[in-house]
Structure 1
Amino acid sequence: MKNIKIILCFLAIVSCTKEPITVTTKDYHLLVDKLTEVMIHDIFSPPVASRIYAYPNIAAYQVLNNTNGNYASLSGKLNGLNISNSIVIDENTNKELAALIAYLDVAKELVFSKEKITTFRDSLYNNWEAKNNTEFNLAKKEALKVSSNIISWMNNDQYKETRTMPEFTVYSDDPSRWQPTPPAYMKGIEPHWNKIRTFVLDSAAQFKPIPPPKFSLEKGSDFYNELIDLYNLTNKITEKGNESEEVAIAQFWDCNPYVAVNKGHFMFASKKITPGAHWIGICKIATQKTNSDFNKTVFAYTKTSIAIADAFISCWDEKYRSNLIRPETLINKYIDENWNPLLQTPPFPEYTSGHSVVSGASSRVLTNIFGDNFQFDDTTEIPYGLPVRSYDSFNKAADEAAISRVYGGIHYNSAVVEGLTQGINVGNFVIDNLQLTK
C-alpha cells in the first residue's frame, strides 16, 4: 500500500509539471505570413500595407529590446515614440513568446478582417496555455504592456485623419495631370499619404526628387522622347511573345494588390501581394538562408518594414506633387488607341515609381544587415503562379524591380531612375539614423 501511495504521489507531481513553451523563428515567419494573407484578402493599397507591416514588427522588436535586449530600444529613435520608463519587462518572461503576442495584438488593430487575426491568435493562445499557463500568462501580461503603448503611438500617426480628407480632384485643363486609367478607372488612392507621420525621416519631403522632364508632346522634347521610347520598347517586347525575359521580369515584379478583371458584364479582382510585401518576403528568405536567430529575424523584419513605410510616404509626397499623367493615357490618345500596357496601370500618379522607391530603400537596408553580393533565390511569387528568380545581390534585385515598370508600360524611364535614387536615399538615412546594434 505504501508503494502504491508513493507511485500515485509521483504521478501527481509529474502531471502538474508544465512543459516550457519553445518559440522559434518559424513561429515568427508564420505570423508575418498570416498578416500578409489577411492583407491580400482585405485588398489594402501598397502605402496602407506598408503601415500594417511596420507597427506589429515594431511591437515585437520592442518587447525583445525594451530592457536589456540584444539590440537598442526604439524609444526615442522613431518619431513620436517614447516608451515610458515604468514599462519594464519581468526578467522571468519568455520574451520570444511575448514578442509573438505583442505582434498579434497590434496586427489585429490594423486590418479589416480582425476576426481572421483573432481566430488565429486564439488558436495559438489555447496551445500555449495548455502547455504552460503560468509562462503564457506572464508573457501575455508583459507583451500587452508594450503593445498597448505602440497602439497608442500608432493611433496618432494621422492615418485616421486622412480617412476623412477630401478625395483627389482628378479632372483639369492641364494635359499633364494624371487621369484614371482603364479598366476600372479608379480614383487616385491615398492622396494625403504624405501627411502620415514618418518613422525615421524628418519629413515626407526630405528626399524630394528632381522634377520629371517638362511635359511636352513636341517631337524631340525630353518628355516626348521618353514616351515614344516606352511605346517602341513595349511593342518590341510584345513581338517577342510571353516567353521573353522582359515579360517575365515585368510579371514577376507586378505586385499589384488589385488587378481588375472583366468577364462579360462583371468585374472582379485578381489579388496579389504589394511591392512592400514582396520585399518583406525577400527579408524572410534572407533570414532563413543565414539561419538568423529569433532576435536578428525580428530586427531584420522591423528595420526593413520601417524603411518600406518611410519610402512610401516619401514617394507618395512626390506623386501628388508632380501629379504626372500615365503613359497609357497619352499613348491611347495621341499615338495608338489600341495600345495596352503589359501590366495594368495602378490608380495613382506616375512620378516617381513606387516600386522603384521601395526597392531602393529595402535593398539598402537588407544589404546593411546581410551584406553585399548576397545571392538568393526569390520564391516570393510562387503562390501567384510565377517561377523562382535568382539574384546576386539585393541591389541587383532592386535594379530589376525598377526596370520592370518600364517593361510593363506603366512608367517612364525617369520615374524608375529617380525613384530608385530616392529610395536609396531613404534607405541610407534609415541605416544612418536607426542604428540599433549594440
Structure 2
Amino acid sequence: MKHLYTVGIAILLLTVSCKEAQPIEITPDNFHASIDNVTKVIIHDIFSPPVASRIYAYPNIAAYEILASNNPDFQSLAGQLNDFTAIPQPEAETTINYDLAALVAHMQLSKQLIFSEDKIEVYRDSLYNVWRNQNEEEFTTSEAYGMKVADHISKWIDKDNYKQTRTMPKFTVQADEPSRWQPTPPAYMAGIEPHWNKIRPFVIEAPDQFKPVPPPAFSMEEDSDFYKELKEVYDISQDITAKGDETEEIAIAQFWDCNPYVSVTRGHLMFATKKITPGGHWIGITKIASKKAGFDNMNTLYAYAKTSVAMADAFISCWDEKYRSNLIRPETLINEYIDDSWKPILQTPPFPEYVSGHSVVSGAAAEALTSIFGDNFSYNDDTETPYGIPVRNFPSFRAAAQEAAISRMYGGIHYRAAVDVGLKQGQDLGKYVVNNLEMKVNNAQASN
C-alpha cells in the first residue's frame, strides 16, 4: 500500500512538472496588444506627433532585430540604420524563446521612452506572471536576452540628440514679419518641437534630403498665388459648413484629425481632449493590415518596424521644413483680413503651416505599407472608433494617404501647396526608405 502511495505521488509530481515546463507561446496578438498599450500611454502622456513617432520606432526595431536574428528569411538593420550596430547574440548553450525575448525588449524600451512607466509595468508584469508559471527556465533565459538587447539599443537611442533638444531654446515668434507663424486659438501654445530636425534620422542621410520647393511667396494681393490659396481654404470651409454637419468632407476631416491635444474652452474653464497622433493612426492601420494578411510574428514586426521607421524619418523631414519656411496658418490671416469670426472645422495645431505633417507622414507610411502588402490591399479602418468616429473603407494605402492629405484642407488648417507638396515629399521619402532598407531576403519590394 505504501508503495502504491509513493508511486502515486511520483506520478502527480511528474504531471505537475510537465505542466510547468510547457513551452511559452507568443502570438502576433501579443505584439499588437503591446503596441496598443504604448499608444494608450502616448495618448495619456500627451506626446506630440514627432515624439510619438520616436516612441514607436525604437521598440519595433528592437523586436524586429531579435526575430530577424533567428530567421534566415530576414536581414538585420545593423549597418542600414544610421549608427546602428548588430545586437548581441545569446550566450552559447542557452535556449532562447526569440518571440518572448522580442516582446520583452519591446516593452522594456517602450517603458524607457514614455512618462507613465507604471502603465507599461502593470501590463508587463501581468504577462510575466503567466510566463513564469508556464516555464520559469525558458522565461528567465529569454527575458535576460531581451533585456540585453534592449540595453544595447538603449545606448544607441541615447545618441540620437533627443535629450539635447529638451534643453534648447523655445521657438521665438517673429510678430513683425506678416508671413511668419503665430500661435493660434484657443490655447495659443508655443511652437512644438522647433529643433526636431536635430534628431538623428534612421535611414535618410540628412533632415533636408527631401527638402520641398518653397511655398508660394507671401502676398495679400488678391491676384497673388498665396492669397488665392488662402481664399480657397476659406471658400471650401464656407461651402462645407453650409451643407450641414453630416457632409463627406467633414467626416473626412474628423476621421484624420489625430490632434493629440485639443483645447476646449467653456467659460473660464479650459481643458484638453486627448486623441491618437497621426503616426498612431498609421500604426493602427499596420495592425489592421497585418491581421487581415494573417501575418506571423516575424512578418508582423517586419511591418511595424518598416512603417514606423519611415514615419519617424518623415517627421524629421517635415519638421525641418516647417521651421525653415515658418509660414503663418490660414486661421490667423482669415481672421485678420477676411472674416474675424471664422473658425476652422478642425483646431489648428501649434506649429508652422508648411508643409502638412499629415501629408508627409501619410505619404511615407503608405509607401512602406504598399511595399509590404501590395498596391491594391483594401481594408476597413476602425482606428478612430474609440473616439466615436465611424469606420472608413479604403482600396489601398495610397488612397488613404491622399484622403489624409486633403483632409487638412477640409479641416481649414492647411493651404493646398502644403497638402500637395507635402504628400509628394512623404512619398519620395517613403520610396527612399523602401529602396534602401534590405529587410526581407530575395524579396522584390515595390518602389513604383
Alignment TM class, shorter chain as reference: over 0.9
- CA offset digits 1:146-173 (Å, max 9, x no partner): 1101111011100000000010001331
Q: Is this contact kept in 1: 2:87–2:149, CA < 8 A?
A: no
- Change over 3 Å in CA distance of 1:88–1:75 after alignment to 2: farther
Q: What's the counterpart of residue 445 of structure 2?
A: none
2:120 maps to what in 1? 117
SS in 2 for 1:109: helix
* Deviation of the 1:6 alpha carbon: 1.6
Structure 1 range deviating more: 207-216 or 61-70: 61-70
Correspondence 1:166 to 2:172: no
Shift of 1:143: 0.8
Q: Secondary structure, in 3 states, of the residue corresponding to 1:380? A: coil
| 1:198 and 2:212 aligned | no
Q: Distance in 1 between matches of 2:65 and 2:123?
A: 22
Question: SS of the counterpart of 2:348?
Answer: coil
Residues 60, 102 of structure 1: 8 Å contact kept? yes
SS in 2 for 1:268: strand
SS in 2 for 1:28: helix
The SS at the match of 1:269 is strand
From 23, 27, 34, give the equivalent of 1:20. Answer: 23
Partner of 2:436: 433
Deviation at 1:326, TM superposition (A): 0.1
Q: Distance in 2 between matches of 1:321 and 1:280?
A: 28
Q: Which residue of 2 aligns with 1:291?
A: 294
2:11 equivalent in structure 1: 10
Shift of 1:67: 5.0
Whole-angstrom CA distance in 2 between matches of 1:243 and 1:357: 28
**d(CA) in 1 for partners of 2:73, 2:361:** 28
Could you tell me which residue of structure 1 aligns to residue 64 of structure 2?
A: 61
TM-score (norm 1): 0.98
Question: 1:152–1:163: structure 2 CA closer, same or farther, 3 Å change rule?
Answer: same
**What is the correspondence of 1:114-263 to structure 2 with a 5 Å cutoff?**
114-263=117-266
1:67/1:88 contact within 8 Å kept? no
C-alpha contact 2:75 2:440 (8 A) present in aligned 1: yes
SS of the equivalent of 1:49 reads: helix
1:95 matched to which residue of 2? 98
Within a 5 Å distance, the mapping from 1:334-345 to structure 2 comes to 334-345=337-348
Structure 1, residues 279-317: CA drift from partner, whole Å, max 9, x if none?
A: 000000000001011100011001000001000000000
8 A Cα contact 2:181 2:327, kept in partner = yes
Query: How many percent of aligned residue pairs carry the same amino acid?
Result: 58
What amino acid is the match of 2:240? I
Q: Is the 8 A contact 1:66 1:89 kept in 2?
A: no
Unaligned runs of 5+ in 2: 442-448
How far off is 1:144 after superposition?
1.3
Q: CA deviation at 1:83?
A: 2.2
Tell me which residue corresponds to 2:35.
32
Match of 1:356 in 2: 359
Summarize the alignment of residues 297-316 of structure 1 with structure 2, pairs less than 5 Å apart.
297-316=300-319
**CA drift at 1:11:** 1.0
Which residue is equivalent to 2:388?
385
Q: Are the equivalent residues in 2 in contact too, given 1:89–1:142 (CA < 8 A)?
A: no
Distance 1:89 1:403, change over 3 A: farther
The answer to whether the Cα contact below 8 Å between 2:344 and 2:411 also exists between their aligned partners in 1 is yes
Please give the TM-score of this superposition, normalised by the length of structure 2.
0.96
List gaps (5 residues or longer) in structure 1: none
CA contact (8 A) 1:237 1:244 kept: yes
2:310–2:364 Cα contact (<8 Å) kept: yes
- Contact 1:361 1:424 (C-alpha < 8 Å) held by counterparts: yes
Q: Does 1:372 align with 2:379?
A: no
Cα distance between partner residues in 1 of 2:152 and 2:165: 22
Give the corresponding residue for 1:41.
Answer: 44
Contact kept in structure 2, 1:87 and 1:146, CA below 8 Å: no
Distance 2:219 2:36 in 1: 45
Distance 1:184 1:69, change over 3 A: farther
What's the CA shift string for 1:189-243, capped at 9, x where partnerless? 0000000000000010000000000000001100000001111111000101110
Secondary structure of the structure 2 residue equivalent to 1:350: coil
Q: Distance in 2 between matches of 1:328 and 1:90?
A: 64
**Residue type at the aligned position of 2:174:** Y
Amino acid paired to 1:361: A
CA deviation after TM superposition for structure 1 residue 131, in Å = 1.2
Contact 1:361 1:425 (8 Å CA) reproduced: yes
Tell me how far apart the structure 2 counterparts of residues 85 and 304 of structure 1 sit (CA, whole Å): 24
Q: Which residue of 1 aligns with 2:76?
A: 73
**Secondary structure of the equivalent of 2:189?**
coil
Cα deviation for residue 5 of structure 1 reads: 1.9
Name the residue aligned to 1:83: 86
1:268 pairs with 243, 266, 271, which one? 271
CA distance in 2, matches of 1:83, 1:394: 32
Q: Which moved more, 1:19-28 or 1:404-413?
A: 19-28
Instruction: Give 1:7 deviation, angstroms.
Output: 1.8
Cα distance in 2 for partners of 1:357, 1:84 equals 31
Q: Return the alpha-carbon distance in structure 1 between the equivalents of residues 183 and 347 of structure 2.
A: 12
Please list the CA deviations of residues 41-86 of structure 1 after superposition, one character each: whole Å capped at 9, or x if unmatched.
Answer: 0000000000000011011111112355531011111101112566
CA contact (8 A) 2:237 2:412 kept: yes
2:380 match: secondary structure = strand
CA contact (8 A) 2:88 2:152 kept: no
Determine if contact 2:65/2:87 at 8 Å carries over to the other structure.
no
Partners of 1:50 and 1:305 within 8 A in 2: yes
Q: How far is 1:87 from its partner?
A: 5.8
Q: Secondary structure at the match of 1:108?
A: helix
Structure 1 SS opposite 2:271: strand
